[in-house]
């Protein structure tokens, strides 16, 4: 088959983009696959950051660009047996033989009552969601029954690297027009760690591994200013090897996306799954993550890590791990075992059962 893939957020190179690039990689094993994007250097950046071999995937002019006339988009789409489209809330109308609509977050702001959108939905072959959390909202919103295809977790833990007293967070800085600033709540976590240091925590560091674009540099510098005088390290735009070095060294993993948000009105602002949480767990890093969204599908509180509802609980549960190495090591082993069900081979197998 000839398959086209589109992700409107590809240049952010976040976890969702890793998901879409893995789709491209695996479908390209027995199909002709192209990714619709105008900047052909994006694959080099992606391969460096994620370590994914995209040599069999081509980059083709973006037919979904605002500069592309609708008639040209429709004409070009006819050349494809299937198109996999990551929706930002929009529903495309295409002439490809099959259309797979993928959702990575709830789209509560979208109106699906119009006859135009109802007609577009009749042209969708299948719907794919990245978690049960996302599926719950999407199925209700669109009146459909989507399939859950959990993201691929490619564990590259280096056993030769010695664990250190590090609390780690990995994530994009800021967000897009939907998410707004500090989507991953890095500034919140910095303040929590500072308060722990002020209250007597010694011998531990907080490391934030962040990816950001050039136009976000000035805003990111505020995090550096916020961290001054404390054992906090900010690692910017590392390659895949550097990211896994940090996973391999860390003992505890923090995630706070969704904290302080009105998740009833805006469920899109919580973590929809949590690939970085899974990667950390695969590297024997104990998760202490917010009790909402897709995180609850990964972490079982008190068994393979901790879930928290407020910042005091985050501090208390983290401190219990810093003070009890036996408990931490036990959780680390169980965490590593529990994420095997999200493996890459499983993802490839389930993907090929859907897109065919």
What is the residue-level pLDDT of the chain in tens, covering all 356 positions? 999 999 999 998 988 999 999 999 999 999 999 999 999 999 999 999 999 999 999 999 999 999 999 999 999 999 999 999 999 989 999 999 999 999 999 999 888 888 888 899 999 999 999 999 999 999 999 999 999 999 999 999 999 999 999 999 999 887 444 444 678 899 999 999 999 999 999 999 999 999 888 888 888 889 999 999 999 999 999 999 999 999 999 999 999 999 999 988 999 999 999 999 999 999 999 999 999 999 999 999 999 999 999 999 999 999 999 999 999 999 999 999 999 999 999 999 999 999 99
Query: Is residue 124 one of the residues assigned to a domain?
Result: yes
C-alpha span between 272 and 259 (Å, rounded): 13
Look at the block and give the residue holding tokens 């592309």. 68
* pLDDT at res. 177: 42
Query: Which among 88, 42, 94, 86 has a CA at the least distance from the CA of 63?
Result: 94
* Same domain assignment for residues 143 and 194: no
Query: Is residue 121 one of the residues assigned to a domain?
Result: yes
Tokens representing 166 are 């590090």
Of 123, 149, 175, the domain-final residue: 149
Query: Which among 319, 331, 312, 328 has a CA at the least distance from the CA of 202?
Result: 319
C-alpha span between 75 and 91 (Å, rounded): 17
Query: Is residue 260 one of the residues assigned to a domain?
Result: yes
* Same domain assignment for residues 173 and 138: no
* 183: phi then psi, degrees, rounded to nearest 5: -55, -40
* Same domain assignment for residues 176 and 114: no
Query: Which among 112, 118, 32 has a CA at the least distance from the CA of 79?
Result: 32
Q: What CATH number is given to the structural domain containing 24?
A: 3.40.50
Domain count, the chain: 2
Of 149, 174, 201, the domain-final residue: 149
Query: Is residue 156 one of the residues assigned to a domain?
Result: no
Helix, strand, coil percent content, the chain, rounded in steps of 5? 40, 20, 40
The full DSSP string for 24-80 is HHHHTTTSEEEEE-S-TTHHHHHHHHH----TTEEEE--TTSTTS-HHHHHHHHTT-
Query: Which among 46, 48, 58 has a CA at the least distance from the CA of 21?
Result: 46
* Same domain assignment for residues 295 and 322: yes
C-alpha span between 298 and 304 (Å, rounded): 9
* Residue 1 CB coordination number (10 Å): 14
Query: Is residue 352 one of the residues assigned to a domain?
Result: no
* Same domain assignment for residues 37 and 144: yes
Task: Give the strand pairing for 57-60 and 286-290.
Answer: unpaired
Based on its alpha-carbon atoms, the radius of gyration of the chain, rounded to whole angstroms, reads 21
* pLDDT at res. 197: 98
| DSSP reduced 3-state for 231 | coil
* Same domain assignment for residues 36 and 77: yes
Of 149, 182, 206, the domain-final residue: 149
* Same domain assignment for residues 252 and 171: yes
Query: Is residue 348 one of the residues assigned to a domain?
Result: no
Query: Is residue 161 one of the residues assigned to a domain?
Result: no
* Same domain assignment for residues 117 and 174: no
* 99: phi then psi, degrees, rounded to nearest 5: -135, 125
User: What is the domain range of residue 326?
Assistant: 166-341
C-alpha span between 213 and 20 (Å, rounded): 19
* pLDDT at res. 178: 43
* pLDDT at res. 111: 82
* pLDDT at res. 181: 62
Q: What CATH number is given to the structural domain containing 284?
A: 3.40.50.2000
* pLDDT at res. 117: 84
* 286: phi then psi, degrees, rounded to nearest 5: -80, 125
Strand residue runs (E) in 200-336: 205-211, 232-236, 252-255, 286-290, 306-308
* Same domain assignment for residues 188 and 110: no
């Amino acid at each position: 088959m000839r398959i086209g893939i589109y992700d409107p957020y590809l240049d952010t190179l976040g976890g969702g983009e890793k998901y879409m690039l893995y789709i491209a990689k695996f479908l390209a094993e027995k199909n002709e696959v192209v990714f619709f994007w105008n900047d052909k250097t994006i694959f080099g950046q992606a391969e460096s950051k994620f370590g994914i071999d995209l040599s069999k995937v081509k980059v083709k002019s973006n037919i979904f660009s605002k500069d592309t006339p609708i008639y040209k988009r429709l004409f070009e789409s006819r050349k494809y047996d299937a198109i996999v489209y990551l929706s930002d809330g929009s529903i495309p109308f295409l002439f490809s033989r099959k259309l797979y609509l993928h959702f990575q977050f709830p789209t509560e702001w979208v109106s699906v009552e119009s006859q135009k959108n109802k007609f577009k939905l009749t042209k969708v072959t299948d719907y794919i969601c990245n978690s049960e959390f996302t599926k719950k909202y999407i199925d209700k919103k669109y009146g459909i029954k989507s399939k859950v295809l959990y993201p691929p977790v490619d564990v590259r833990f280096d056993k030769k690297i010695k664990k250190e007293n590090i609390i780690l967070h990995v994530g994009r800085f800021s967000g897009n027009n939907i998410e707004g600033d500090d989507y991953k709540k890095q500034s919140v976590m910095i303040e929590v760690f500072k308060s722990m240091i002020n209250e007597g925590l010694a011998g531990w560091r907080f490391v934030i591994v962040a990816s950001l674009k050039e136009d976000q540099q000035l805003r990111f510098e505020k995090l550096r200013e916020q961290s001054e005088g404390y054992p906090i390290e900010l690692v910017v735009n590392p390659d895949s090897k550097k990211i896994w070095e940090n996973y391999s060294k860390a003992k505890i993993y923090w995630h706070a996306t969704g904290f302080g948000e009105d998740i009833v009105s805006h469920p899109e602002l919580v973590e929809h799954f949590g690939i970085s949480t899974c990667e950390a767990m695969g590297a024997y890093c104990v998760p202490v993550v917010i009790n909402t969204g897709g995180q609850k599908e990964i972490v079982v509180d008190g068994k393979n890590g901790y879930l928290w509802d407020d910042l005091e609980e985050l501090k208390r549960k983290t401190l219990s791990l810093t003070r009890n190495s036996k408990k931490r090591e036990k959780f680390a082993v169980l965490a590593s075992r529990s994420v095997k069900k999200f493996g890459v081979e499983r993802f490839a197998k389930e993907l090929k059962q859907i897109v065919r």
